[in-house]
Amino acid sequence: MRDTSGGYGAVLAERPIRDLLLASLCGRFAFNALGLGFVLFAAAETDSIAVTGAMIAAFAITTALAPARGRLVDRHGPGLLAVLALGSAGAVGLLVVAGAADAPAWTFVLSAGLAGLFAPPLGPFARSVWSGLPGEGDLQQRVHALDAAGEESALIVSPLIVSVLVLVGSPGLALSVCAVALLGGAAAAGRTSLARAPGSRASPAAPLPRSLWLVFIAFLPTAAALGALDIAIPAAATEQGHPAAAGAIEAAMAVGTVAGSLLVGRLVFGSPERRVLLTQIVLAGGLAVATLFATQLVLLGVVLVVPGLALGGLFASLYLLVGRLAPAGSGTRTFGWLVTTNNGGLALGAAGAGALSESSGPSAGLWLAAACALAGIVPALGALILSARVPQTDIPHRIR
C-alpha cells in the first residue's frame, strides 16, 4: 500500500480501495433510491395511500434486520453480498411484474418487504473492510470520510435519479434500473481484491463490548434529531407559503454534511472518541440556534449548514470508532447495528416532530431536533471514557 498522506487523491489512486468504494456506492445509491421508487410506483399502480404506507413500513421493518445479514456475511464471506442482492433485486422485479399484472395489493407489500429482507449490507461491509486497512498516513480516517461523503451524496442524488427515470419512462423503469444497479454493485463489491483479501473471521458471534453499545445509544438521539428535521423543515417551509424551499434547505445541510466528512478526514485531529463528542456538541448547538429562524427560511438554510458540517464530521469519526471497537470477525454485523440504530432514531424523531409540528407549529419540531442532539452528548461522553479503556486490537490487515 503506497503512502496516502497526500490526501484523497492519493487514497483514490489505490485501485483496491477505489474499486470497492465505487462498487459499494453504486449498490448503495440504487438501494437508497428504492424508497422513493416504491412510493411513486404504488401511487401510479394502486392510487392508495394505505398500500403505499404498508409497503414502506414493510420495507423499513425488514431493512432493520441489517445486523443479522451482517453476521451472515461475516460468517460466509463477501460472496454472500451478490446472493442477497439477487434476492432483493428479484423482489423488486416481482413488484414490477405484479403492477403490470394488476395483482392484489398484498403482493406489493410482500415484494417491498422481501426487497428489504434481502438487502445486501454494502455500507456495513465496506466500513468493516476500511477498518481493517493499515493505518499509515491516517488511511482509515480518510477512507471512512470518503465513504461517509459518498453515502450522504447518495441521499441527495438518488431521488434525483429516480425522478429523471420516472420523467423519461415510468416508476417501473426506475425500479428496474435500481434493481440492476443494486445487483451489479453488490456483485462487483464482493469480487474486489480488498473484499476477497484474507481478513479476520475469528468469531462473528462474539458479544459487542459495552463501550460499543454506549456509542449506539449516543447515536440514537442524534438520528432522532435528523428524523425530526425531515419533518420540521418541510413544515416550516409550508407554513411560510414556500413548500418547495424545503428541498433547498435540506440540500444545503446535506452539502454541509459532505463537506464536513471530507474536512474531518483531511484535517485529522485528536482521537475519534473526542471528535465524536466535539461534533455532537457542535451539532446540538447549531440546531439550537436554528430554532430561532423557523420563520426566516433563507437564514434557516444558512444556519443549518453548521450542524451539517458537524454531522459529516460525526459520521466520519463515528465509523472509525465503531471499527476500532468491533470484535474481530464481526465488523459487518457491528456496522449493521449502526444502520439499525440510525433507522430507528429517524423513525422516532419523525413521529415525534410530526405530532409536535401539528399541535405547536414547525418551531416545535426544530426544538425537538435540538433537544435530541443535546440528549446524545452525555452518552457520547460515557462512550469516550469507556472506549478509551479498550486496547487497540491487532486487526489482520487486508492487503492487495
First to last CA, the chain: 8
* pLDDT band per the 50, 70, 90 thresholds, residue 391: low
* pTM of the full structure: 0.88
Q: Could you tell me the residue range of the domain that residue 279 belongs to?
A: 210-387
d(CA 364, CA 144): 34
CB-based contact 121:129 (threshold 8 Å): no
Question: Is the pLDDT higher at 246 or at 201?
Answer: 246
In a domain, 124, yes or no: yes
d(CA 177, CA 38): 13
Helix, strand, or coil here: 114?
Answer: helix
In a domain, 263, yes or no: yes
Among the residues of 46-138, which ranges form H helices?
A: 49-63, 66-76, 79-100, 105-117, 122-130
In a domain, 393, yes or no: no
Read off the pLDDT of residues 60-108 as tens digits, 9 standing for 90 and up: 899 999 999 999 999 999 999 999 999 999 999 999 999 999 899 999 9
In a domain, 2, yes or no: no
Read off the pLDDT of residues 312-363 as tens digits, 9 standing for 90 and up: 999 999 998 898 888 888 889 999 999 999 989 988 988 888 888 878 888 8
Question: Is the pLDDT higher at 69 or at 393?
Answer: 69
CB-based contact 277:321 (threshold 8 Å): no
Q: Which amino acid, residue 193?
A: S
Do 73 and 181 fall into the same domain?
yes
For 367, the grid coordinates are: 426544538
Phi-psi label, residue 119: left if phi above 0, alpha if psi -120 to 50, beta otherwise: beta
Do 345 and 241 fall into the same domain?
yes
CB-based contact 148:316 (threshold 8 Å): yes
Do 18 and 128 fall into the same domain?
yes
* pLDDT band per the 50, 70, 90 thresholds, residue 395: very low
pLDDT of residue 199: 59
Do 291 and 153 fall into the same domain?
no
